[in-house]
């Protein structure tokens, strides 16, 4: 119930955990750092999968499945890759009652096993591009974990594509960043910045990492999807060459891109409030809940009316009618607010007489009286309005909490109060970036792709000429 | 191409592998016993998932996700369970650069981790029934593996339900066996027997295991789904009790049920032929492929005609138009036969003039000339006819290869030639069952649920009075 949720103003972190636990989205597993995704959380993941998978297929990708276990020697073949992932690996040393000759790593990501297979499958330019995605679980032994946001095991999708030219690989990398942006903004109603990571923040083994970053309600940034141009690094590590159109041999060009159950954390932190979850209608497993209000003598008539409404809505909406007569309507109202169902429809004897229903928006609390015959037309528009309004509100919040300065003292002040995204000049030197991180815990979230005017702007750290305007922020 | 496939009559096992590899359904992974499910195989799995998941949801189940790694001590809590699975476990001993205090087992099945969570979630009869399913990967370190049929890692779904009474658990167990039978027969077009396993063949930890069994073209049996009544075994092992309606405490009753990527193996072996895969239209990722036939001067006109046809079919069928002009039509015909696409539609300049197309059935090779305007109506019926015909053919084959005897000498002869299902009297003694297995490699696949007339029938092994008529067979 709502009273169990710590208000955001009191303790934002606790508020988040309270929502995850009380709305029964996830629970702590007996294994350290692992989570159980409960049915309500998984229903969200199913809708996220469905949305993303549709976008992947529209852009020509197909799904496949590669093994969970990767020979340890594979992980070591790409120098930066092994360095990046070694500290987080879980290792199978025994199987079938015997010690294995070579330890097997539980995949933290699948570049190495996939490129070992691509070596078998790619011979000629005719085999390219190869556009494969996989939905699976991965494991990264993290020290500090938080439900959905950072867990030892998580679910994700990882796309792995192979191309004949550097230009095609770059085009694919950018295309998939765009797909993630579309998904975040149009499905999740979460506005995102897109851009490129600095070298110190890029994927271990990538030439270049693009990302989308969203601002949460505590003004911290959350990386919601990454798309990597891997150049020929993995092709060289696994010796994957192809015969070009003009009979030469060249290494294949690669990309990879992923998004995970972390998106559920982003959804929660972008929209929810002190009463519980707030879900964008496009991803809400249930969009409308009908709560009938009756006494014993009106029970049958009201239920009949409510069932008629449900049947009228069912073809176009995901609707549930709560016929339970143990719980009170008031209890149900709080419960469905906690669960984040976008619209609650109340129907009582008086509404019935007037041929109307009351629709209550979860996001604003606004009550609207609707003639029952108009509900099948008007509720879908109301859902669209909620979807748009959540996006607009989040965008407004981000804009209000995005600042620009080239003054390091002001930068640290802004970071602490109010917090947010801070655009600031940066010379491009990793030392300046590292100093900011060490002193303020803020990192460069991304460098925007749009042409920038750096004329006259200094690096906010060293004062030398800025080569870019970077977006800094503290992040999840 | 077709010429690479070993005929069934020459070597059935090799025929199967040739189809899996040449139709690009799966490939061998670098890790022993593991497979890569390639895009064409995974597209089949996606359709299987979609079909089964729909049936699970219709019967009130929801999906969730539980962790991959299970503390070793959990597996040991149910005596029969640990005995059954110990030899097949893969164990993570190191993670995050350190040796773990307790080794973690990669799930071979999830009863133990799920019942550890159910202990947290179930307090009262109001929390029951709990009807949860999960789609995931599992690992069983098998010595002898075969693509799809038996691999160290495989994908599956596992349902885990909790109930207030023994009767409800039994009802659920039977319901899910029914769901598997419906899926096998109506989606896969594979007729199955259903029944109960003997004690020696049941799931490790179950009170009773129900199953469906299908006959493959080599007359061997393939277990295609199992549904277990677990009684209170796991509730007792994990101390999961609930408060009953009348305020008493009782242990919860459990079921579990699963089906896996093995179903893809069953699909292949039930219907395919020496030219390649034959897929039931309901599960075929592509149902109709259009192959245009043209010369340079007719190319544009034929393609235009073919595109019109594709657009007319697309709303109701999964259709692909092959516009590639490098490969010859003949090459394409063989390729799509190999891939098992149920209907190939040929369109050439002469067909175009006559306003007709040629539709060729993959299962029978039958050619039908259709007025192009009628194709959107007639092709769907043709697909239905194929679906039905595959089922009927498989059912006829099973009937022709099902025998009845109570004579052990005749039994062994029939098993060797022609092979198949043999119904025979059995006294119920495990020793007689074990003797048959040792001497003939045949096992009791199931005991039918329907009331049986055992009057006067002897156990075919010991000659004592038969308590049941069991179905014997050699199996995958």
DSSP B184: I
Q: What is the pLDDT of residue B466?
A: 97
How distant is the Cα of A58 from the closest Cα of chain B, in angstroms? 15
Task: For residue A84, give the 3-state DSSP assignment.
Answer: helix
Mention every residue, 6+ apart, whose C-beta is less than 8 A from residue A400.
none
Taking residues B392-418, what's their average pLDDT?
A: 97
Cβ-based contacts of A70 with chain B (< 8 Å)? 31
Cβ-based burial of A152 (10 A; exposed 0-12, middle 13-18, buried ≥19): buried
Cβ-based contacts of B95 with chain A (< 8 Å)? 89-91, 141
Residues B411, A265: Cα–Cα separation, whole Å: 61
Task: For residue A116, give the 3-state DSSP assignment.
Answer: helix
Q: Quickly tell me which residue has 């691999």 as its tokens.
A: B151
Chain centre distance of CA A334: 27
Candidates A26, A27, A28, A31: best to mutate against B (most CBs of B within 10 A) is A31
- Nearest Cα residue in chain B from A104: B31
Cβ-based burial of A30 (10 A; exposed 0-12, middle 13-18, buried ≥19): middle
**CB atoms < 10 A from the CB of B183, how many?**
24
* Residue that wins the pLDDT comparison between B325 and A134: A134
The angle at the Cα of A466, spanning A464 to A472, to the nearest 5 degrees, equals 115
Cβ-based contacts of B115 with chain A (< 8 Å)? none
Measured between its terminal Cα atoms, the distance across chain B in Å is 27
Cβ-based contacts of A56 with chain B (< 8 Å)? none
**CB atoms < 10 A from the CB of A332, how many?**
18
Q: What is the pLDDT of residue B1?
A: 44
Chain centre distance of CA A116: 29
ipTM above 0.90, yes or no: yes
How distant is the Cα of A289 from the closest Cα of chain B, in angstroms? 18
Buried b or exposed e, range B74-112, using 16+ CB within 10 angstroms: bbebbeebbebbeebbbbbbbbbeeebeebbbbbbbbbb
Contact A90 B92 (CB under 8 A): yes
> Is the model's pLDDT at B353 over the cut of 60?
yes
Residues B402, B244: Cα–Cα separation, whole Å: 48
Mention every residue, 6+ apart, whose C-beta is less than 8 A from residue A209.
A196, A197, A201, A202, A203, A226, A227, A228, A229
Q: What is the pLDDT of residue B73?
A: 96
Range list of β-strands (E), A52-152: 62-63, 69-71, 90-95, 98-106, 130-139
Beta carbons of B168 and B176 less than 8 angstroms apart: no
B59-111 residue pLDDT tens? 999 999 999 999 999 999 998 989 999 999 999 999 999 999 999 999 999 99
How distant is the Cα of B161 from the closest Cα of chain A, in angstroms? 13
Chain centre distance of CA A453: 31
Contact A30 B65 (CB under 8 A): no
Cβ-based contacts of B91 with chain A (< 8 Å)? 92-95
Mention every residue, 6+ apart, whose C-beta is less than 8 A from residue B229.
B169, B170, B173, B206, B207, B208, B209, B210, B254, B255
Contacts 24+ apart (CB under 8 A), B220-223: B220/B419, B220/B473, B220/B474, B220/B475, B220/B476, B221/B421, B221/B445, B221/B473, B221/B474, B221/B475, B221/B476, B222/B149, B222/B262, B222/B265, B222/B266, B222/B269, B222/B475, B222/B476, B223/B445, B223/B475, B223/B476
| Arithmetic mean of pLDDT over chain A | 97
Confidence of residue B3 (pLDDT cuts 50, 70, 90): low
Buried b or exposed e, range A204-214, using 16+ CB within 10 angstroms: bbbbbbbbbbb
> Is the model's pLDDT at A1 over the cut of 80?
no
A412-436 residue pLDDT tens? 999 999 999 999 999 999 999 999 9
Taking residues B392-415, what's their average pLDDT?
A: 98
Q: What is the pLDDT of residue A4?
A: 85
Buried b or exposed e, range A391-420, using 16+ CB within 10 angstroms: bebbbebbeebbbebbebeebeebbeeebb
**Pick from A34, A68, A96: which is nearest to B88 by CB?**
A96
* C-alpha distance from residue B350 to each of B296, B357, B361, B368, B371 (Å): 15, 9, 21, 15, 13
Taking residues A315-328, what's their average pLDDT?
A: 95
**What would the 3-class secondary structure string for B336-383 be?**
HHHHCCCEEEEECHHHHHHCEEEEEECCCCCEEEEEHHHHHHHHHHHH
> Residue A63's closest CA among A138, A131, A163?
A131
**Pick from A46, A71, A92: which is nearest to B30 by CB?**
A71
Candidates B22, B36, B143: best to mutate against A (most CBs of A within 10 A) is B36
How distant is the Cα of B325 from the closest Cα of chain A, in angstroms? 13
Residues A32, A145: Cα–Cα separation, whole Å: 9
B282-304 residue pLDDT tens? 999 999 999 999 999 999 999 99
> Is the model's pLDDT at A2 over the cut of 60?
no
Task: For residue B406, give the 3-state DSSP assignment.
Answer: coil
Beta carbons of B65 and A38 less than 8 angstroms apart: no
**Model pTM above 0.90:** yes
DSSP assignment of A272-304 equals: -BTTB----TTT-S-SEEEEE---GGGHHHHHH
A226-245 residue pLDDT tens? 999 999 999 999 999 999 99
B33-53 residue pLDDT tens? 999 999 999 999 999 999 999
Contact A153 B68 (CB under 8 A): yes
> Is the model's pLDDT at B2 over the cut of 80?
no
| Arithmetic mean of pLDDT over chain B | 97
Residues B272, B19: Cα–Cα separation, whole Å: 9
Contact B96 A143 (CB under 8 A): yes
How many beta-carbon contacts under 8 Å exist across A and B?
Answer: 153
Cross-strand pairs, A346: A291, A358
Q: Please tell me the number of Cα atoms within 13 Å of A339 on its side-chain side.
A: 22
Contact B96 A141 (CB under 8 A): yes
Confidence of residue A361 (pLDDT cuts 50, 70, 90): very high
Based on its alpha-carbon atoms, the radius of gyration of chain A, rounded to whole angstroms, reads: 25
Edge to edge, the sheet with strand B343-347 lists B319-321, B288-292, B343-347, B356-361, B367-371
Taking residues A135-139, what's their average pLDDT?
A: 98
Residues B23, B340: Cα–Cα separation, whole Å: 9
Share of chain B above pLDDT 70, in %: 99
Residues B116, B162: Cα–Cα separation, whole Å: 12
Task: For residue B433, give the 3-state DSSP assignment.
Answer: helix
- Nearest Cα residue in chain B from A100: B90
Taking residues B445-458, what's their average pLDDT?
A: 94
A61-81 residue pLDDT tens? 999 999 999 999 999 999 898
Q: What is the pLDDT of residue A3?
A: 55
Q: Sign (positive/negative) of CA torsion A220, A222, A227, A230?
A: positive
β-strands B343-347, B288-292: how paired? parallel
Please give the structure tokens belonging to residue A175: 């295309």
> Is the model's pLDDT at A83 over the cut of 80?
yes
The angle, 0 to 180 degrees and rounded to 10, between the axes of the packed helices A375-400 and A262-271 is 90
Please give the structure tokens belonging to residue B378: 């007639």
Candidates B24, B27, B29: best to mutate against A (most CBs of A within 10 A) is B29
Beta carbons of B169 and B255 less than 8 angstroms apart: yes
* C-alpha distance from residue B290 to each of A422, B375, B377 (Å): 56, 12, 16
**Pick from B63, B106, B117: which is nearest to A27 by CB?**
B117
Q: What is the pLDDT of residue A143?
A: 87
**Pick from B31, B39, B71: which is nearest to A104 by CB?**
B31
Cβ-based contacts of A132 with chain B (< 8 Å)? 39
């Amino acid at each position: 119930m709502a009273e169990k949720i710590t208000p955001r103003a009191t303790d934002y972190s606790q508020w988040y955990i309270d929502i995850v636990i009380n709305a029964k989205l996830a629970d702590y597993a007996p294994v350290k750092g692992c989570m159980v995704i409960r049915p309500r959380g998984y229903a969200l993941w199913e809708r996220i999968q469905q949305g993303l998978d549709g976008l992947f297929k529209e852009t020509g990708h197909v799904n496949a499945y590669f093994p969970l276990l990767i020979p340890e020697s594979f992980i070591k073949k790409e120098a930066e890759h092994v360095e990046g992932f070694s500290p987080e690996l879980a290792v199978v040393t025994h199987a079938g009652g015997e010690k294995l000759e070579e330890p097997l790593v539980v995949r933290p990501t699948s570049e190495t096993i996939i490129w070992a297979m691509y070596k078998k499958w790619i011979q000629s330019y005719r085999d390219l591009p190869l556009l494969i995605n996989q939905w699976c679980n991965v494991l990264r032994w993290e020290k500090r974990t938080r439900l959905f946001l950072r867990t030892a095991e998580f679910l994700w999708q990882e796309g792995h594509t192979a191309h004949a030219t550097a230009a095609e690989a770059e085009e694919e990398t950018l295309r998939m960043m765009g797909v993630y942006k579309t998904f975040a903004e149009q499905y999740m109603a979460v506005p995102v910045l897109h851009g490129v990571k600095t070298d110190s923040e890029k994927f271990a083994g990538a030439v270049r990492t693009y990302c989308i970053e969203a601002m949460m309600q505590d003004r911290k940034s959350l990386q919601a999807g990454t798309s990597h141009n891997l150049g020929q690094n993995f092709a060289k590590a696994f010796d994957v060459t192809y015969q070009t159109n003009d009979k030469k041999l060249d290494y294949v060009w690669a990309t990879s891109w992923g998004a995970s159950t972390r998106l559920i954390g982003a959804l929660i932190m972008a929209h929810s409030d002190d009463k519980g979850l707030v879900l964008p209608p496009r991803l809400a497993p249930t969009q409308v809940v009908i709560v009938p209000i009756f006494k014993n003598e009106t029970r049958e008539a009201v239920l009949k009316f409510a069932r008629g409404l449900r049947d009228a809505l069912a073809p176009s909406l995901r609707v549930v009618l709560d016929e339970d007569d143990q719980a009170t309507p008031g209890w149900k109202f709080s419960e469905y607010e906690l669960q984040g169902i976008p619209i609650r429809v109340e129907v009582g004897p008086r509404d019935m007489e007037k041929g109307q229903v009351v629709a209550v928006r979860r996001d604003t609390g606004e009550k609207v009286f609707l003639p029952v015959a108009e509900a099948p037309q008007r509720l879908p528009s109301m859902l669209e309005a909620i979807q748009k309004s959540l996006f607009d509100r989040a965008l407004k919040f981000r804009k209000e909490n995005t600042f620009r300065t080239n003054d390091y003292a002001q930068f640290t002040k802004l970071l602490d109060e109010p917090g947010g995204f801070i655009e600031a000049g940066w010379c491009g030197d990793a030392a300046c970036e590292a100093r900011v991180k060490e002193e303020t815990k803020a990192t460069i979230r991304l460098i925007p792709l749009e042409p920038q005017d750096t004329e006259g702007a200094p690096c906010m750290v060293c004062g030398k000429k800025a080569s870019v305007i970077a977006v800094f922020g503290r992040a999840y």
